[in-house]
């Protein structure tokens, strides 16, 4: 069966680094197996969902090179959820409840006080037709819960965590529909996975208990005849994998990770390839390396390499990888982002000194000028005047200049090179002068040497 994965963000904000990692791993899982990667917009909450975030999600995925093979929006699939709801009501797997949030909170506190797990006591199952009629007469609408089957444990082989086993009696029957008729996450997600033909669900380990509940939903929907001809998969439910959550370098869950997204990465001039290279292997047994070739990353991608330990995200690692990738980038890859007039020769001259592509703008100012000169000693000014005289142009003007000055002045090391660099660039360090001097050109170089000597 063709591997089909999905990324299912809610458009209630921008994607952050944790979302990006989940999307990437789902995309890589599909790519590795020649399958499909689907985007599902979970926009059933009309008050919090924003169209601007939908557009931002699409744009961020495209910027990162993850192009979905299809897209679904939950807001356009409400009739499917209604159909599933009716099937499950008929099968006796959904039941009405009327407790308020305050009443449920009180029940949980009482259970905790008695040393019992704070799960729903299934009081809604005890209500009679007369009880429901009385609630309806009072104008009280019910919320609906999915009735878990307590007869057998819920088990699955998780592709990251290994064998999983849950006693359904230790879980609350989940609310699937609110009093106002709106949907919570669990049932629509299971319906979508069935009808979109999702074969593999890869998500964070915070969803493990959700998976236990949803496995029963998949089985119940199949048994209730919901699958029918509309569903793309014959298996009752997908393969599941739950990866460790992303944490900050200090080893704790970091609120800052929630603010790190593609917009902030773009503002910092971080390359999308650097984000991919880091997140593709973060939390796996493979070393994180500055690999720009996505195919090379796909070759080593395997769920069995994922660690159960939290994956630590460190900005310093991202910056290190970004710098290394910038040093590998050819002129053709960056020419549209370079300052006007900066050619291939100049790019190769400054590239080894850059941390970001945007840093080329600062180095280009050295070429175009003006530059600020330090205060030279009388001895250095005389030396620079000599440099202006002996400067000659060749295939290697820097080598010819320094060789001639070494012979005529006897200078060597820092005394030979630093005054020349300062006079030509206004800097104490920077790009290799052997590459930069040809970019400056003979006229500019001689003029700067003469100015410094004066």
Backbone angles phi, psi at 24, to 5 degrees: -60, -45
Mean pLDDT of 4-24: 95
Residue 388 lies in a domain: yes
Quickly tell me which residue has 């809604």 as its tokens: 124
Give the pLDDT confidence score for residue 255 in this predicted structure: 66
Token pair, residue 259, equals 């603010």
Helix, strand, coil shares, percent, the chain, to 5:
50, 10, 35
User: Strand, coil or helix: what is 164?
Assistant: strand
Same domain, 361 and 418: no
Return the exposure string of 12-38: e unless at least 16 CB atoms fall within 10 Å of the residue's CB, then b. ebbbbbbbbbbbbbbbbbbbbbebbbb
The per-residue pLDDT for 96 is 98
pLDDT at 232 over 60: no
Structure confidence by residue, pLDDT tens digits, 76-114: 999 999 999 999 999 999 999 999 999 999 999 999 999
Instruction: Please report whether residue 62 resides in a domain.
Output: no
Distance, CA of 70 to CA of 94 (rounded, Å):
31
Q: Are residues 386 and 446 in the same domain?
A: yes
Among 368, 397, 416, the domain boundary falls at 368
Compute the distance between CA of residue 400 and CA of residue 423 in angstroms, rounded to an integer. Answer: 17
442: containing domain: 378-453
The arithmetic mean of pLDDT across residues 115-121, rounded, is 93
Q: Phi first, then psi: what are they for 240, rounded to 5°? A: -115, 145
- Does residue 9 fall inside a structural domain? no
Residue that is last in its domain, among 312, 341, 368: 368
| Separation of alpha carbons 245 and 25, rounded Å | 13
Predicted pLDDT at 229: 45
35-46 average pLDDT score: 95
Confidence of residue 46 (pLDDT cuts 50, 70, 90): confident
Q: Are residues 392 and 426 in the same domain?
A: yes
- Regarding whether 441 and 382 lie in a shared domain, the answer is yes
277 close to 288: Cβ distance less than 8 angstroms: yes
Q: Do the strands 200-204 and 239-243 form a parallel or antiparallel pair, or are they unpaired? A: parallel
Omega before 400 within 30 of 0, i.e. cis: no
Least-confidence region, from 79-93, 190-204, 253-267, 307-321: 253-267
Q: What is the pLDDT of residue 134?
A: 97
For residues 354 and 385, state if they share a domain.
no
For residue 103, what are its two tokens? 């009443």
Residue 234, pLDDT above cutoff 80: no
Both 343 and 403 in one domain: the answer is no
Please tell me which residue, 226 or 405, carries the higher pLDDT value: 405
Where helices occur in 240-359 by DSSP H, the ranges are 262-267, 272-281, 294-299, 315-326, 331-334, 344-350
Helix (H) or strand (E) segment spanning residue 79: helix 78-90
Q: What is the C-alpha to C-alpha distance for residues 110 and 118, in angstroms, rounded to an integer?
A: 8
How do residues 196-210 score in pLDDT, each as one tens digit? 999 999 999 999 999
Total number of domains constituting the chain? 2
Burial of 326 (0-12, 13-18, 19+ CB in 10 A): buried
Helix (H, G, I), strand (E, B) or coil at 311: strand
**363 and 417 together in one domain:** no
Count how many residues are written for the chain.
454
Mean pLDDT over residues 54-80, rounded? 97
Locate tokens 């020769």: which residue?
345
pLDDT bracket for residue 44 (50, 70, 90):
very high
Question: What is the average pLDDT value for the chain, to the nearest integer?
Answer: 94
Q: Identify whether residues 358 and 388 lie together within a single domain.
A: no
Q: Of 313, 343, 368, which residue constitutes the final position of a domain?
A: 368
* Shared domain check, 449 and 384: yes
**Distance between CA 344 and CA 39 in Å, rounded?**
39
In a domain, 447, yes or no: yes
Neighbouring residues of 229: CB distance < 8 A, sequence distance ≥ 6: none
Instruction: Map tokens 């905790």 to a residue.
Output: 112
Q: Is residue 237 part of a domain?
A: no
Is 300 part of any domain? no
Say if residue 13's pLDDT is above 60. Answer: yes
Whether 387 maps to a domain, the answer reads: yes
pTM of the model: 0.91
CA distance 130 to 10: 39
Nearest CA among 427, 439, 420 for reference residue 339? 439
Query: What is the CATH classification number for the domain harbouring 430?
Result: 1.10.10.350
Beta-strand pair 175-177/200-204: unpaired
Phi, psi at 400, each rounded to 5°: -65, -40
Q: Check whether residue 349 and residue 398 sit in a common domain.
A: no
Inside any domain, residue 405: yes
Q: What pLDDT sits at residue 451?
A: 96
What integer pLDDT is reported at residue 225 of this predicted model? 85
- How deeply is 135 buried, as exposed, middle or buried, from its count of CB atoms within 10 A (0-12, 13-18, 19+)? middle
Proportion of the chain above pLDDT 70, given as a percent: 97
């Amino acid at each position: 069966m063709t591997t089909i994965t999905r990324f299912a963000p809610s458009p209630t904000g921008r994607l952050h680094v944790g979302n990006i990692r989940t999307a990437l791993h789902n995309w890589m899982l599909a790519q590795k197996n020649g399958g499909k990667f689907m985007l599902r917009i979970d926009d059933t909450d009309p008050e919090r969902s924003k169209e601007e975030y939908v557009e931002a999600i699409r744009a961020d995925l495209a910027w990162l090179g993850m192009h979905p093979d299809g897209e679904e929006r939950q807001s356009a699939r409400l009739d499917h959820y209604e159909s599933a709801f009716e099937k499950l009501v008929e099968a006796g797997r959904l039941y009405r409840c009327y407790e308020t949030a305050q009443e449920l909170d009180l029940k949980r506190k009482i259970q905790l006080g008695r040393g019992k797990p704070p799960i729903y006591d299934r009081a809604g199952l005890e209500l009679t037709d007369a009880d429901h009629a009385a609630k309806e007469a009072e104008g009280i609408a019910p919320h609906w819960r999915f009735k878990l089957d307590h007869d057998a444990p819920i088990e699955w082989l998780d592709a990251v965590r290994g064998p999983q086993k849950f006693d359904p009696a230790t879980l609350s029957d989940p609310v699937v529909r609110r009093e106002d008729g709106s949907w919570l996450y669990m049932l629509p997600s299971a319906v979508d996975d069935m009808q979109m033909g999702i074969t593999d669900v890869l998500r964070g380990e915070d969803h493990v208990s959700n998976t236990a509940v949803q496995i029963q939903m998949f089985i119940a929907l199949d048994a209730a005849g919901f699958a029918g001809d509309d569903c793309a998969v014959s298996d009752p439910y997908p393969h599941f994998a739950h990866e460790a959550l992303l944490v900050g370098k200090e080893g704790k869950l970091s609120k800052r990770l929630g603010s790190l997204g593609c917009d902030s990465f773009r503002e910092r001039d971080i390359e999308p390839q650097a984000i991919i290279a880091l997140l593709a292997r973060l939390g796996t047994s493979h070393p994180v390396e500055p690999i720009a070739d996505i195919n090379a990353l796909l070759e080593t991608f395997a769920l069995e390499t994922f660690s159960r330990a939290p994956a630590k995200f460190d900005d310093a690692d991202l910056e290190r990888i970004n710098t290394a990738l910038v040093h590998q980038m050819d002129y053709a890859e960056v020419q549209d982002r370079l300052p006007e007039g900066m050619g291939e020769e100049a790019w190769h001259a400054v590239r080894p000194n850059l941390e970001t592509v945007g840093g080329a703008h600062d180095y280009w100012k050295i070429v175009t000028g003006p530059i600020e000169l330090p205060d030279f000693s009388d001895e250095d000014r005389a030396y620079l005047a000599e440099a202006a005289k002996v400067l000659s142009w060749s295939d290697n003007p820097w080598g010819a200049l320094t060789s001639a000055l070494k012979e005529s002045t006897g200078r060597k090391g820092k005394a030979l090179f630093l005054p020349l660099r300062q006079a030509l660039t206004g800097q104490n360090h920077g790009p290799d002068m052997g590459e930069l001097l040809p970019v400056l050109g003979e006229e500019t170089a001689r003029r700067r040497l003469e100015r410094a000597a004066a």
